[in-house]
Chains A and B, each alone.
Chain A
């Protein structure tokens, strides 16, 4: 029987993996991930003004602020790739003379003029309109330079000036028992969402669809009678669950591979080292995790997350399989899977909104609910809303429900897979559940 079990598992898995759907979906995934990772390069590839460096010509009539302005602009200005965004030239020519050259080159002339009441004033001259972001950067730089210029005029020493502009060190302390509360965690959600919640949600949809389509196909073609006459319903069901869960693990692995490949593409497309790009990205994530103290918890968070996800995949697949057993065609399954989809979509949106409703008791309680917990619990844990104990409880509730589904759902499955009555699918389901003979 174990040979037949593995054969059925292999058959279900290969049927899915060899399908055109699988190939098509993964090509789309690969392209989407490559595009997302290389979006900046793709945008540049098609050309535009962002390719050109903005030339800035500084005419400093005060003779005191040009260098300060230049260094401020260089340290704060946005740079793309290896090229600096601004090319800065300091001129000693007359204003009118420089103005004439502006007609030929698309440069910006910034003239610093003495002003008795305000220290200095500035004229910005260009042939065309300049980018709004650039304008803001220039204004910010000019104002900063002006403050420093005036303070210097008042004989304030450079050390004091440095202290004045340095950021304030904030020592954050939380007195409640939730020691892991950290406002910075919300920034991590921007990492958790695309790397954990979104892929998990997509894989859940795939899982439910795979089980449904597989069982429906065998039922609608009446192959089920031949199959069940050779292997027990229990073996058949188990093979579907194992195949579907292996499938999502393979699909998850492929998504990771696509991310790695997209960095390789980035390497060839944009130059530079792909590995260093990858290292930079992971380094950035690790830095943000480290700065919030989350790295200290990651050693138990990741195994728990894996357990919760695997348990949730098994739970989703059990429910999808039980429901699919009473259907006779794909249309039936579309009807009957709607509640699963609604629940997972609710979990998905609650996970997104978790950061917005900090301290919500309702969301906290929902994070224990199987089906929702796989989406909510990791998000709330990262936000510091739930503890290690809460996450373990979520896993425990999911595992308990898995045993309930195996015990009672198996009976429904056994009766459902050979039920071809013409009743509406929901009626058929409820009758099967109520049937004392099963």
Chain B
């Protein structure tokens, strides 16, 4: 289990992290959300031991993370961390050796992953000759070829087309099934929503929302109702708790103050010819925008 406890980190007068705590169990994917400069990269650097925290601890299976543990950690950085003059094989051998793998182990793992990502023909090509998407695949395979216990993914889908996103997603799911702990950061909320059982939202280094995705959504509550049918905007005008109505032909999105408004709406239109009535869960994007706005 990865345990991050009450981490504080200052860069001079800049408070990069203020009391961040979370846990990630084996076979779990944990989401780290935040704007640019919120402290995500600092969190990853502290976990990897690249920088020290001013306060707090980070442990993997109860032990502090040092260079004896880093062979069990895979790290995909936000920007491409590849030596572009090397060939794919040289790059894999290089990062493999840094993970304590021998040449044969790297060779075997590379063959497997190149085949899985359908880029076997690029084995002897220089990194700089590859597309951004293929470079991202190489970076990913370099991070996972040692079957890491902990995998840190900082914006792993950047620059990938939908087909390649699916290839990487499948790989991430397989690693999760193997019991790998995965810390995931992305600006694209749909990926977090799809992957992560638990998450934390950081604003200026401070965790403002934390918990399982279900809990977070429950905390936020239901704020929208979608109605499709033979109704008009005037049918919703006098319902208490309806703040705003967006109409698009026969589809209406009602912005409400809380979950208690839903039965009132249903009662008001139940005699009408309704084809769809849905109390919509908030998207992570909505929660993120609202919470970040509040925190500012």
Contacts and interface: CB of A to CB of B under 8 A. Distances in A.
Interface stretch (B93-101, B158-166, B226-234, B259-267): B93-101
B50 to A, nearest CB: 6
Contacts of B70: 229-230
Interface string B16-57: 000000000000000000000000000001001111000000
Interface stretch (B78-86, B174-182, B189-197): B78-86
B77 A222 contact: yes
A229 B79 contact: no
A228 interface: yes
Among A223, A231, A435, chain B packs the most CB atoms within 10 A around the CB of A223
Contacts of A169: none
A23 to B, nearest CB: 15
- Main SS at interface, chain B: loop
Contact of A7 (B79, B81, B97, B143): B97
Contact of A218 (B48, B83, B142): B83
Contacts of A223: 81-83
Given A11-B94, A230-B70, A221 B83 contact: yes
A227 interface: yes
Contacts of B95: 226, 230
22 contacts: A4-B97, A7-B97, A8-B98, A11-B94, A15-B85, A217-B83, A221-B82, A222-B79, A222-B80, A222-B81, A225-B45, A226-B75, A226-B143, A229-B49, A229-B50, A229-B73, A229-B75, A230-B67, A230-B98, A230-B99, A232-B67, A418-B51
B71 A418 contact: no
Contacts of A164: none
Interface residues of A, number: 23
A361 interface: no
A228 B85 CA distance: 19
A221 B79 CA distance: 8
Interface string A207-244: 00000000001100111111111111000000000000
A418 B45 contact: yes
Contacts, number: 62
Contact of A225 (B75, B84, B85, B97): B75
A231 B94 contact: no
A175 interface: no
Size bracket of the B interface: 20 to 34
A166 interface: no
A8 B80 CA distance: 20
A85 B201 CA distance: 92
Among A11, A222, A225, chain B packs the most CB atoms within 10 A around the CB of A225
Contact of B67 (A1, A224, A435): A1
A316 to B, nearest CB: 25
B98 A227 contact: yes
Contact of A231 (B12, B51, B67): B67
Contact of B80 (A221, A232, A418): A221
A123 to B, nearest CB: 74
B51 A226 contact: no
B87 to A, nearest CB: 12
Interface of A: 1, 3-4, 7-8, 11, 15, 217-218, 221-232, 418, 435
Contacts of B143: 226
Contacts of A218: 83
A226 B81 CA distance: 7
Contacts of B67: 1, 230-232
B73 to A, nearest CB: 7
A3 B12 CA distance: 36
A110 B198 CA distance: 109
B94 A229 contact: no
Contacts of B48: 225, 229
A434 to B, nearest CB: 10
Contacts of B97: 3-4, 7, 11
Given A4-B100, A7-B97, A228 B82 contact: no
Contacts of B12: 435
Contacts of A7: 97-98
A228 B99 CA distance: 11
Nearest to A436: B12
Contacts of B77: 222, 225-226
Contacts of B142: 226
B140 to A, nearest CB: 12
A227 B100 CA distance: 12
A231 B66 CA distance: 10
Interface string B216-248: 000000000000000000000000000000000
A3 B101 CA distance: 11
Contacts of A418: 45, 50-51
Contact of B98 (A217, A221, A231): A231
Among B48, B77, B84, B98, chain A packs the most CB atoms within 10 A around the CB of B98
Contacts of A11: 94, 97
B265 to A, nearest CB: 51
Contacts of B80: 221-222
Among A228, A418, A435, chain B packs the most CB atoms within 10 A around the CB of A228
Nearest to A217: B83
